[in-house]
Structure 1
């Protein structure tokens, strides 16, 4: 017959084991959900890049319709605008969009303060890879549809508009966002984490060290990522690219700077 003391010891041992393994179990569940949501964010970023290039190719490479098209493509992944209140879906989408876009002259998309959490920076960066500022001569490029190669690719003729979109995807799952952000910083060689391990409470030094040969990351993206994470804005930069031939001539007035508003040149 098992004594009362033995049962008490077994109960205490089970409690200790549960306390040690529960954080990891919770993180595995929440982390899996977060990773699948990031995959959805990747798909939405690719769609937004396509919409931006399509809008730009039809509007002389103008950043305003490009930024508007990209934000409209990303918006369902940024905010759940369909819940609560009356109105048609189109009206709700328009309201959510207008709250997060800048003026028509400076369409830098922002998170809506007080509704989108602690996110204060742009939702995305949009860098125009082609055409370059110096490639658009005169008021507009009259040879934009020349069948000879103008893109640098011998397999393509005509002027191409190519965009690289960096979507600052906001991690949405509590606890997982903080842990994944610290892991990302260590993975890219940006910061060590030598405090208590949130996945194993008994481990006082997690030992998450910056990788010896970290993956290459653009310095502008690296600095922005560190700045946001350290201010409690848990984001991950998702990259998407797209390109197509220009359907309208590129105008020099739209290429006074290489990248669209809110995006640092040199990206």
Structure 2
């Protein structure tokens, strides 16, 4: 009789331990993987801030040319960008950049600034200003060293020769399981509002819609489209301002009609 009772007690304790493990293990795994992913995202944010500085510096020297600024940002972000292994079933991995030859090889691979299989750029530069409203009355070429612009009489005039940009790093989450949880917490629409990390404004959704890249206007942004393929991407943004050291060519470098940058504090 005592042996039967001990056997039942052992079975009960074993079942209890299995239930407790089933509850605790996913949380413990996410704690480890989530910590690794958040650490990598923090590194990406620091590099994005530096990329914004390098991009606006390149733009101030090269007439606010967007492609030149995106190339400068891409060069800074190169160590954290993933590349796809050769072959049809090649996985995407992050190859380190430890020498000039490795930098040149990887930059040549990614210089198109297009993420494979996703309708997004690795690094995207948006001109926040000056806007057409701020430089109204100017045409053709705007001299950065014109005394009328360098010694303005008002606040708006002071912004005529200041280039303001925003760099968006479309950072791919690379840690399994943590990528899905973090993406859903930040951008998911099927979870309670209390668990989200911010609202998706209509302005941002329109900014990242298919129309921006010449695709069909499906109403679904490229981030959601990539998530449907199991690729989870988080936009990391940084802004920087610098006074121009070259002239704006208003005919070739069209300035925005209004500030199209996305700022989290406006949520």
TM-score range, shorter chain: 0.7 to 0.9
Question: 1:141 maps to which residue?
Answer: 142
Aligned pair count? 227
Whole-angstrom distance in 1 between the partners of 2:200 and 2:6:
61
Contact 1:144/1:158 (CA < 8 Å) preserved in 2? no
User: How big is the shift at 1:230?
Assistant: 2.7
In the alignment, what sits opposite 1:180?
Answer: 182
Partner residue, 1:232: 230
Do the aligned partners of residues 9 and 211 (structure 1) sit closer, same or farther apart at CA in structure 2, a change above 3 Å counting? closer
- 1:87-114 Cα shifts (integer Å, max 9, x gaps): x811111111111122xxxxxx113x4x
Contact kept? 1:53, 1:161, Cα under 8 Å = yes
Q: How far apart, CA to CA, are the structure 1 residues paired with 2:55 and 2:144?
A: 22
Quick check: which one's helix share is greater? 2
Gaps of 5+ in 1: 103-108, 193-207, 260-264
Question: Which deviations, in whole Å up to 9, do the C-alpha atoms of 1:33-65 show, x marking residues without a partner?
Answer: 111111111111111111100001011112232
1:18 & 1:176 partners in 2: Cα distance? 19
Alignment map for 1:146-185 (pairs within 5 Å): 146-149=149-152, 152=155, 156=158, 159-185=161-187
Q: Residue 69 of structure 2 aligns with which residue?
A: 66
User: Please, what TM-score do these two structures have when normalized by structure 1?
Assistant: 0.73
RMSD: 3.1
Residue aligning to 1:202? none
User: What secondary structure sits across from 1:122 in the alignment?
Assistant: coil
Counterparts of 1:240 and 1:91 in 2: how far apart (Å)? 29
> Superposed, which structure 2 residues align to 1:34-183 within 5 Å?
34-79=37-82, 80-82=94-96, 89-102=99-112, 109-111=113-115, 113=116, 119=118, 121-133=120-132, 135=135, 137-145=138-146, 146-149=149-152, 152=155, 156=158, 159-183=161-185
Are the structure 2 counterparts of residues 158 and 138 from structure 1 closer, same or farther at C-alpha, using a change threshold of 3 Å?
Answer: closer
Deviation at 1:252, TM superposition (A): 2.3
User: Tell me, which stretches of 5 or more residues in structure 2 are unaligned?
Assistant: 83-93, 210-220, 262-267
**2:87 is matched with which residue?**
none
TM-score (norm 2): 0.73
Q: 1:152 deviation in Å?
A: 4.0
Q: Structure 1 residues 254, 44: closer, same or farther in 2, change over 3 A?
A: farther
Change (3 A) 1:20 1:31: same
Q: How far did residue 122 of structure 1 move?
A: 1.2
Q: CA deviation at 1:125?
A: 2.2
Alpha-carbon deviation of 1:176? Answer: 0.6
Deviations 1:236-259, CA, capped at 9 Å, x for gaps: 111110010001111224413649
C-alpha distance after superposition, 1:118-156 (max 9, x if no partner) = 6552113211011235738444212555322389458x5
Change beyond 3 A, Cα 1:212–1:110: closer
Q: Are 2:5 and 1:22 aligned? A: no
Displacement of 1:180 in angstroms is: 1.4
Give the C-alpha shift of residue 158 in structure 1. Answer: 6.0
